[in-house]
Amino acid sequence: MRNDINFDKITLGVCYYPEQWDKSVWEDDLNRMAEHGIEIIRIAEFAWTIFEPREGGYSFDFFDEFMNLARRKGMKVIMGTPTATPPVWMSEKYPEILNADIDGNKIYNGMRRHCNLNSPVYREFTAKIVEKLAEHYSPYENLIGWQIDNEINCECDRYYSESDHEAFREYLKNKFGTLDDLNREMGTVFWNQTYSDWNEIYLTRRTNSLGNSNPHMQLEESRFISDTVIGYMKLQADIIKKYRRDGQFITTNGIFPNIDYQRLTDDVLDFLSYDSYPNFAYSVNADPAKDRGMRDRGTSRVLTRIRGFSNTFGIMEQQSGGGGWNCWLPQVMPKPGQMRLWTMQSVAHGADFISYFRWRTAAFGTEIYWFGLNDWQNRDNRRLRELRQIKSDIDKLSEIAGAEYKADVLVLCDYDNEWDRDEWHKMCDNVSSDAWFAYLQKNHIPYDTLYITDKTDYDEIRKYSHIIYCHPSIITDARADLLKTYVASGGKLILGARTGVKRINAQCDTRDLPAGLTDLIGAYVEEFTPLSRFEDEKYITADTDKAGAPVFNEVLTATDGEVTAVYEGGCYDGAAAAVSKSNGMGCAYYYGCAFGEDTAALAARLAGIRAPYSYLLELPEGTELSVREKDGEEFIFLLNYGTDSSQIFLKQPMTDMLTGQTVSGARSIEGFGVSVLKRRK
């Protein structure tokens, strides 16, 4: 199930910190926000000390004054719960609320995310502050929603306090029941790790291999952390739901490691928000040689993941200026047009609410070099002028709100493999996921992402003509059955090397590989090897096409499948490298290697993946195409990420939504420019 929130129009917002500025500037700030098209502000996510300056002494005067001013100015508000940074008085009096590193050393106040989510004391303080805020501020008519916490698991995504060790033991007891079952599933007979008492169990601790220990326990550790986060967020959401007025939503801003965001969205939130910072690709220490020509375009990849959790979603922090802290090298300032481009990138991928970070750059604290719309001097500047243009554009696109992103290709992911610390899997998946993203982007093939589980329903995947599931090393029988149903019903499935190697506990499967899917692909893996960096590059050939076979090679033995590609060169020369098999109305394709861009291109050709809008327009590689659809109309976003103009050709007349003109034929999109076209299907 995917949760959604419907805005009646595409809406602009901004993050604001009234506690960081003199009250004398509040009214002018709000007036200027409104003049620039800002309708919503997010506040208070780091203001715990303002609300509770001393234990049990709650004060609402400061934010009451601001909320009343915002109401008079017609400004809507999203309020954050301030639990990402507990007050100093709390950590000094109750040090058990602090997180710890892998050696048990406490992580002290001074940054953020130093709290311990499994501490009963911290959970009690959290429940109290959230209850006070929800009870007091939910009646405000201009409060439209709540953001729970802020960027949870950012900076710190692993927990090692004493409370965490205790909670981990309870998690394992509840999941496995007995020590005998735990020992069997965790393979503890290996290297004398067998547990004879629950109190012998800990989260990962330092070992001779830099903290690496039992890999099956470490996978459970990630699952435990996700459960911890979801439980902590649910604690807050359940309290807010007791007080919130009709229409007030609950969200949080992701995404970060060791959190199952599908579960979080389904079980806790009304919709998921994202913090979009494409300028990380332009960091002063970024390596352009490694970006495959994607640069800030890579943010589209993350937006696709977010859309998989919430069909429509919000951007709680949209980058507006250069980024950096006082303690690390900052990102460069966005070039003219890039803030508008990144805004349209978010809208193109399904965001109907865009909130910029931040209104004015902080003059003190760690984030003094994380620039907002205004500089320290608070004078009109290029970014504000660009915001005024964005507002003009957004007004012309309002009807797009609620439109569905259109894609025929689905890329499957899963948290079991993402959390498994398997270097072979990571070697394959990092290369292949980058390659498929680059191939689909450059060839203007929109795609969706879905995190598959044993509960994933066939209806969630049935509409896609093709599914790409690069390297699901861990795969369950339930997921294998779902894939078989998809193929038998007419779908085309592409799999890569190391599929079906492991069971859900990350122990290796002793069945023929890919375990549970040999009948689907009509073959099994005869032998395999990771490739050494000292070896010559390996290739596969199919007909007259030749493509790379990077990272990992499997020799396949076909049973009733068709060999579609063989290895060229090396000791596997001439051996089967890829197979396909028709099943029912569909077909499964298996590649015994990782995917480079050329391998992805070959696989796409053989499986019949085509650019779905090539009959409408011709585009260069550097221009992204995204399409949203609503009420029988298609909204086609063309985003030029290059500094030079992009030359396109429209094969049919369409309406340019930003100019109102009917356009066709040869067109030009300026550097960092955007075109939004509308057509009736």
Tell me the catalytic residues.
151, 317
> Considering just the CA atoms, what is the radius of gyration of the chain in Å?
26
Taking a C-beta distance cutoff of 8 angstroms, is the pair 319, 357 a contact?
yes
Cα angle 104, 214, 196 (rounded to 5 degrees) comes to: 85
The DSSP secondary-structure symbol of 575 reads S
What is the rounded CA–CA span in Å between residue 462 and residue 214?
38
Strand, helix or coil for residue 352: strand
44: left (phi over 0), alpha (psi -120 to 50) or beta: left
**Amino acid found at 263:** R
Amino acid letter, residue 68: N
CA distance 39 to 73: 10
- Which residues make Cβ contacts (< 8 Å) with residue 450, sequence separation at least 6? 308, 410, 411, 412, 413, 456, 460, 461
* Phi, psi for 526 (deg, rounded to 5): -85, -45
With tokens 């901004």, the residue in question is 14
CB 39 within 8 A of CB 13: yes
Assign residue 363 a region: left if phi > 0, alpha if psi is -120 to 50, beta otherwise?
Answer: alpha
Residue type, 178: T
Give the residue carrying structure tokens 């992701």.
254
10 Å CB burial of residue 543 (0-12, 13-18, 19+) is: exposed
Q: How far apart are CA 677 and CA 658, in angstroms?
A: 8
Cβ-based neighbours of 364, under 8 Å, separated by 6 or more: 20
Among the listed residues 563, 529, 532, 567, the one whose alpha carbon sits nearest the alpha carbon of residue 546? 567
User: What totals of helices (H) and strands (E) does the chain contain, helices first?
Assistant: 17, 27
Q: What is the dihedral of CA 602, 607, 608, 613, to 10 degrees?
A: -80
Q: What are phi and psi of 460, to 5 degrees?
A: -75, -15
Mark 134-172 as b/e (b = at least 16 C-beta within 10 Å): bebbbebebbbbbbbbbbbbbebbbbbbebbbbbbbebb
Dihedrals phi, psi of 600, to nearest 5 degrees: -60, -40
Q: Is 667 exposed, middle or buried (0-12, 13-18, 19+ CB in 10 A)?
A: middle
DSSP 173: H
The position carrying tokens 């993402």 is 418
- Which tokens is 227 given? 């459960």
End-to-end Cα separation, the chain, in angstroms = 28
